[in-house]
């Protein structure tokens, strides 16, 4: 079996910046190679053309090409030709692509095409209640309707996407996975009164709500520290730095207890997760977030949002708490409870890891994907 992935991002020092999509593909691809499946990854929109064999994976970096006329169409046709040559030469059985911006619209491949829903532009615009470019909607709808098979990382994303694009196709739900042998509990005790947020510093992740929440926490527990780890993103509403907007909302004393680490490598993120007593992830827009799975796998109690996908990952009151991020008072109260009640915190962390092992571990999820690919090949 030879499976290929088409993606705009992948965690690699030569790649453009990568987020949860690239991480989820990397996890799946590496686990599949470990059980003897051949995997190729096509990373488009890159700065250079390059081919590399890395840990049993074949990586194809495909340079972004620019055209004076109909560039969106001509680059797609270039990718189509490039991929089909390699599909034929390397005997690729199945090609998988993301739903984001509908990259496979107007493409035809000589092997079955699977689109995995990690959240399209239309999906996130819908969750954030903001307009989408008509061109992007058109591309995404055409790509989804042209795919041979559809997968979604959550039931919530599958249903929302089907409603948005009026899809009548079957959508198979297979969640993202995490390597529970890589994300393991730390033997060291966490730093007392330490709260961690990690991920992009962006409005849709609920960080502006978090500023108001931390003001309340600071009044009740002046020793609490908030660690912010992630890349600052220009705010879509105001055009300003989201970090600046966050700081503007903080009271002076809360600002003194807020620490910014910027974008960190994987290993340093794991170290920060280990150090934290409570992980806070108040996002308004996700499909099935890798950050939640990684923190849970490391036996951390979370306070997350309570929207859609959350109930497919978290068990409220068991693995942590799910709260509406706009309910600042309740959100702050749940964080304070976990900071104060150490045994409860520890118990929830253990249940969080067990939830990941049972439902989201690589061994379980990879086997589901393999069975799906075998069915497609048949």
Give the pLDDT score at 279. Answer: 98
Q: What are the two backbone dihedrals, phi and then psi, of residue 265, each rounded to the nearest 5 degrees? A: -65, 160
In which residue ranges of the chain is pLDDT below 70?
none
Q: What is the set of domains in the chain, with CATH numbers?
A: 2-177+362-377 (3.40.50.2000), 194-359 (3.40.50.2000)
Give the pLDDT score at 68. Answer: 87
Give the pLDDT score at 12. Answer: 86
- Asked if 20 contacts 37 with a C-beta cutoff of 8 angstroms, the reply is no
Q: Which residues contact 261 (CB under 8 A, 6 or more apart)?
A: 227, 228, 229, 268, 272
DSSP state of 277: S
HSE (CB half, 13 Å, CA atoms) of 128? Answer: 22
Give the pLDDT score at 19. Answer: 77
Output the DSSP codes for 159-216: HHHHHHHT--S-EEE----B-TTTS---SSPPPTTEEEEES-B-GGGTHHHHHHHHHH
Q: With a threshold of 0.85, does the pTM exceed it?
A: yes
Give the pLDDT score at 282. Answer: 97
pLDDT of 291-332, one tens digit each? 999 999 999 999 999 999 999 999 999 999 999 999 999 999
pLDDT of 110-125, one tens digit each? 999 999 999 999 999 9
Give the pLDDT score at 56. Answer: 80
């Amino acid at each position: 079996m030879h499976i290929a992935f088409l993606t705009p991002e992948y965690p690699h020092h030569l790649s453009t910046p990568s987020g949860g999509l690239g991480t989820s593909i990397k996890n799946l691809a590496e686990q599949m190679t470990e059980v003897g499946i051949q995997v190729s990854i096509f990373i488009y929109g890159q700065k250079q053309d390059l081919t590399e064999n890395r840990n049993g994976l074949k990586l194809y970096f495909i340079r972004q090409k620019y055209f004076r006329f109909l560039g969106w169409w001509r680059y797609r046709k270039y990718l189509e030709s490039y991929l089909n040559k390699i599909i034929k030469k390397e005997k690729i059985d199945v090609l998988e692509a993301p739903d984001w911006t509908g990259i496979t619209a107007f493409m035809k491949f000589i092997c079955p095409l699977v689109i995995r829903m990690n959240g399209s532009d239309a999906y996130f615009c819908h969750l954030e209640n903001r307009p989408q470019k008509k061109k992007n909607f058109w591309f995404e709808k055409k790509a989804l309707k042209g795919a041979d098979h559809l997968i979604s990382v959550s039931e919530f994303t599958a249903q929302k996407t089907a409603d948005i694009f009026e899809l009548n196709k079957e959508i198979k739900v297979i969640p993202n996975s995490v390597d529970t042998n890589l994300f393991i509990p730390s033997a060291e005790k966490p730093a007392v009164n330490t709260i961690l947020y990690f991920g992009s510093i962006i409005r849709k992740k609920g960080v502006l709500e978090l500023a108001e929440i931390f003001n309340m926490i600071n009044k009740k527990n002046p020793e609490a520290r908030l660690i912010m780890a992630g890349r600052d993103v220009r705010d879509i509403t105001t055009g300003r730095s989201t970090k600046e907007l966050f700081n503007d909302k903080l009271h002076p004393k809360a600002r003194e207890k807020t620490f910014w680490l910027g974008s960190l490598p994987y290993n340093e993120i794991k170290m920060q997760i280990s150090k934290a007593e409570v992980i806070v992830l108040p996002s308004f827009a996700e499909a099935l977030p890798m950050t939640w799975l990684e923190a849970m796998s490391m036996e951390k109690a979370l306070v997350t949002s309570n929207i859609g996908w959350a109930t497919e990952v978290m068990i409220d009151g068991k693995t942590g708490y799910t709260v509406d991020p706009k309910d600042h008072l309740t959100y702050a109260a749940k964080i304070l409870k976990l900071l104060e009640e150490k045994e409860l915190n520890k118990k929830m962390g253990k249940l969080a890891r067990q939830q990941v092992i049972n439902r989201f571990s690589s061994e379980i999820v990879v086997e589901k994907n393999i069975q799906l690919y075998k069915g497609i090949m048949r």
